[in-house]
Amino acid sequence: MDGPALAMLDLATAEPGTYVLPPLPGEPFFGADTVPQDVLVAEVGRRIVGYLKIRPPTSLESNAHVQQVQGLAVYPALRRSGVARALLAEGLAEAARRGARKLSLRVLSSNPGAIALYRAAGFRVEGVLREEFATDDGGYADDVLMAQRVS
Ligand SMILES: CC(C)(COP(=O)(O)OP(=O)(O)OC[C@H]1O[C@@H](n2cnc3c(N)ncnc32)[C@H](O)[C@@H]1OP(=O)(O)O)[C@@H](O)C(=O)NCCC(=O)NCCS
């Protein structure tokens, strides 16, 4: 899988207020917490235009029935054409193949577009951590916990 292309996609799509940790130029995409088996890509021709990463939220046996979306991005030029919706559908199928009961995610309240996407894809809010993260503009955003049943 093309790590440099995915790192470029992360850099190009990191909009202020949408992330907790900004991607840095030159930072490798793959590492201890991001392995190729957990990354699904959307391609147009042979160019990667979007990706979704899912993995277990913890390494605990008691939490092994949950998979979590931990990364999702689509190039601006391709947005609102269903790429993320398709990636999430495939992520749900992958979570089912892994035997998960639940697919969860965390999203900042300062990212209403992503929240609308997740709602449209069947996720519901399970909890909100108020003002959990400081944002680039000097304010604070809620950590919104969303999930849906896999099976
Ligand atoms: C959020 C993001 C992944 C959406 O990708 P996308 O491919 O444009 O989403 P889709 O085209 O599959 O959208 C499917 C549906 O989700 C909803 N939706 C998606 N983006 C939306 C937005 N910006 N505003 C409102 N609703 C939105 C709509 O219901 C949409 O259906 P419609 O276009 O028929 O109205 C993309 O904007 C992105 O990469 N943002 C920056 C990175 C990011 O915020 N990632 C999420 C971190 S938690």
Give the pLDDT confidence of 19-30 residue by residue, as tens digits: 888 889 999 999
Mutate-to-test residue for ligand 1 from 19, 41, 74, highest number of ligand atoms within 8 A of CB? 74
Residue 9 has pLDDT above 80, yes or no: yes
Tens-digit pLDDT profile for residues 88-101: 999 999 999 999 99
Q: Which of 80, 55, 48, 83 is nearest to 69 (CA)?
A: 55
Residue 138 pLDDT greater than 90, yes or no? no
Residue 94: Cβ within 10 Å count: 18
In Å, how far are 86, 97, 114, 116 from 80, measured between CA atoms?
11, 28, 11, 12
pTM of the model: 0.96
Residue 134: its pLDDT value, please? 93
* Domains recognised in the chain with CATH numbers: 3-149 (3.40.630.30)
Q: Which of 4-8, 105-109, 134-138 has the lowest mean pLDDT?
A: 134-138
Residue 144 Cβ contacting ligand 1 at under 6 Å: no
Counting residues of the chain whose pLDDT is more than 70, the rounded percentage is 100
Check if 146 has its Cβ closer than 6 Å to any atom of ligand 1.
no
What pLDDT does residue 48 have? Answer: 97
**What are the pLDDT digits (tens) for 64-92?**
999 999 999 999 999 999 999 999 999 99
The bridge status of strand 102-108 relative to strand 66-74 is parallel
